[in-house]
Amino acid sequence: MSDQELRAAAAKRIKDKRNFWQMLGIFVIVSVILTAIWALSGGGYFWPAWAMLGMGIAAMFTAFGAYGPANVPPSQQQIDDEVRKMQGGS
């Protein structure tokens, strides 16, 4: 991997991590607001859980994209192996 490619991959990882933390912050803020609305409207059935569930799933996928194994650039050996497979070799 060239220096320029490595820098581009590093910049992407930094951006992905920032996006995750931004999403997590939005998740917390929205959850607090929805819970306050629920509490001020008399409680009862905890309907904010549905929004929290959806945002939690989105945050989980964002975290996996930022910190998961797919965010690691492929090694030169993996690239060479894939090229061989594409060429029909074993």
Q: Report residue 1's pLDDT band, with 50, 70 and 90 as the boundaries.
A: low
Whether 5 has a pLDDT exceeding 80, the answer reads: no
Query: CA–CA separation, 37 vs 31, rounded Å?
Result: 10
In this prediction, residue 11 carries a pLDDT of 85
In this prediction, residue 89 carries a pLDDT of 64
Domain span at 34: 3-86
pLDDT digits (tens, 9 = 90+) for 37-63: 999 999 999 999 999 999 999 999 999
Q: Report residue 68's pLDDT band, with 50, 70 and 90 as the boundaries.
A: confident
Mean pLDDT of the chain: 88
pLDDT digits (tens, 9 = 90+) for 26-39: 999 999 999 999 99
Number of domains in the chain: 1
Q: Contact at 8 Å (CB) between 36 and 82?
A: no
In this prediction, residue 90 carries a pLDDT of 56
Q: End-to-end CA distance of the chain, in Å?
A: 24
